[in-house]
Amino acid sequence: MKAKGFNTRAIHAGHEGFKPDSTSTPIYQSVAYPFEDAKEATEIFKGDKPGFTYGRWDNPTVQVFERRMAALENTESAIAAASGMAAIFLLSHHLLNPGDEVVSSNLVYGGTFGLFGTGLIKMGSKVVWVTDPGNLEAWEKAITPKTKFLFVETPSNPALFVADLPALSKLAKAHGLPLVVDNTIATPALQSPIDLGADMVVHSTTKYICGNASSLGGIICGKTEFIEGIRKNGIRYLGPSMAPLNAWLNLNGLETLSLRMEKHCSNAMAVATLLEKHPRVESVNYPGLASNPYNKMKEVNKMKGFSSLMSFVLKGNYDDATKFIDSVEVFEHATHLGTCKSIVTHPASTTHLAMGEVEMKKAGISPALVRFSVGIEDPEDLLNDITQALEK
């Protein structure tokens, strides 16, 4: 498909030539695909003839989703995985050999922090953390001859750090290293890392791409040679493939992605503005606010918005935060983000509980910190819900 507008690609790309044609891409709920004869089987296995062989590495429904994601992220190819963590693991496994290093921002999702911090050691490789990821010199200092790729999550979950992608891409290129961007929070509807010079993009499709909390999934987008290397030597032997039903749910999600992201952004701005002015709120962390230090990154990264993840600290303590959580009625209390429903999370009593008080303090997680993933409900209902809960 020739490059067309984002919404046209989000609805059509990847389905061309699908036989028999259908308006909704069918779910190929099958792990195997019979061959016409022995000659055809050999040709398909050799790669001389297009076709499908076995569901762990190829499936028609999953392939449409992969092609559509590649079209949206402006890469040659993509490979889907069972979850966002499976995608980051496959990518790391493919790029690193024993003794190699990844240089990564330390402001990443907790699962990525765990995989890089402890999981890579089991593979004989390791991470070098950049603890001041807004500082380009800190990245440069962390690079050694063992470095194989740079990794950044932007905007990051939950710290909401926003990287300078053009500058980071330039640095990566100067060192001959690929830059990998976790684009989960922004999605390709708001930010295009490849257009800013990045080499690969990874996602937890579990979040905004699926959009309704119905399926786990992940994707890696990049050059064909790299993606097909993962298909041949990674997913084939390690096995964390995306299920056909999940690919279908993600295809449905993509059709409305940019409409949803627009609404997520406008609702998030309304919520952050209310919180910033509220006397019972100590501070608000949302890059969309003019007062936020990362607000200027919208232009630098040519972003259409800052998505809908935010956090704020209540004037009060742990008990005040749990009371607030128990008082909201439209926001759902869960440990998820990026879904049509607004979600509230209290890190100190859930996601970060295992850290203990001392470590939480070091990481800047206040007992009165609350995280919102603002959904696409009517904004007045969200604002009224927050106001009544703050009054309690």
Ligand X SMILES: Cc1ncc(COP(=O)(O)O)c(C=O)c1O
Catalytic positions: 56, 109, 182, 207
Chain center to CA of 135: 23
* Window 289-328: residues binding ligand X (CB under 6 A): none
* Window 115-134: residues binding ligand X (CB under 6 A): none
* Window 34-93: residues binding ligand X (CB under 6 A): 83-85
Q: Near ligand X by CB under 6 A, which window of 37-45, 107-115, 164-172, 251-259?
A: 107-115
d(CA 140, CA 345): 35
DSSP string, 30-88: -SB---SSHHHHHHHHHTSS----BTTT--HHHHHHHHHHHHHHT-SEEEEESSHHHHH
Tell me the residue ranges of DSSP E strands in the chain.
Answer: 77-81, 101-105, 126-130, 147-153, 179-182, 200-204, 218-222, 281-285, 309-314, 332-333, 343-345, 369-373
Tell me whether residue 83 or residue 339 sits nearer to ligand X (CB atom).
83
Contacts of 100 by beta carbon, 8 Å cutoff, 6+ apart: 125, 146, 147, 148
Tell me whether residue 230 or residue 281 sits nearer to ligand X (CB atom).
230
* Window 332-361: residues binding ligand X (CB under 6 A): none
Q: How many CB atoms lie within 10 A of CB 230?
A: 23
* Window 142-161: residues binding ligand X (CB under 6 A): 153, 157
Q: Is 311 left (phi over 0), alpha (psi -120 to 50) or beta?
A: beta
Tell me whether residue 159 or residue 348 sits nearer to ligand X (CB atom).
159
Q: How far is the CB of 261 from ligand X (least distance, A)?
A: 15
Q: How far is the CB of 259 from ligand X (least distance, A)?
A: 22
Kindly determine how many residues on this chain lie close enough to bind ligand X according to the rule CB under 6 A.
Answer: 15
Residue type, 350: T
Paired residues of 283 in beta bridges: 313
Tell me whether residue 209 or residue 390 sits nearer to ligand X (CB atom).
209
* Window 11-30: residues binding ligand X (CB under 6 A): none
Q: How far is the CB of 43 from ligand X (least distance, A)?
A: 36
Tokens of 43: 């040709």
Q: How far is the CB of 14 from ligand X (least distance, A)?
A: 21
Closest residue to ligand X, judged by C-beta, is 84
Q: How far is the CB of 307 from ligand X (least distance, A)?
A: 11
Indicate which single residue of 52, 109, 161, 294 sits in contact with ligand X (rule: CB under 6 A). Answer: 109
Q: How many helices (H) and strands (E) does the chain have?
A: 17, 12
Tokens of 57: 């590495």
Tell me whether residue 157 or residue 308 sits nearer to ligand X (CB atom).
157
Q: How far is the CB of 262 from ligand X (least distance, A)?
A: 20
Do the beta carbons of residue 169 and residue 300 sit within 8 Å? no
Indicate which single residue of 66, 182, 199, 385 sits in contact with ligand X (rule: CB under 6 A). Answer: 182
Q: Near ligand X by CB under 6 A, which window of 13-21, 108-116, 297-305, 378-386?
A: 108-116
Paired residues of 129 in beta bridges: 104
d(CA 93, CA 230): 9
Residue 249 binds ligand X (CB under 6 A): no
Indicate which single residue of 63, 104, 169, 184 sits in contact with ligand X (rule: CB under 6 A). Answer: 184
Q: How far is the CB of 53 from ligand X (least distance, A)?
A: 26
Tell me whether residue 206 or residue 258 sits nearer to ligand X (CB atom).
206
For the chain, the 3-state helix, strand and coil shares in percent, each to the nearest 5, are 45, 15, 40
DSSP string, 166-211: HHHHHHHHHTT--EEEE-TTTHHHH--GGGGT-SEEEEETTTTTT-
Q: Near ligand X by CB under 6 A, which window of 62-70, 109-117, 167-175, 354-362?
A: 109-117
Tell me whether residue 59 or residue 184 sits nearer to ligand X (CB atom).
184
* Window 189-248: residues binding ligand X (CB under 6 A): 204, 206, 216, 218
Binding site for ligand X (CB under 6 A): 83-85, 109, 111-112, 153, 157, 182, 184-185, 204, 206, 216, 218
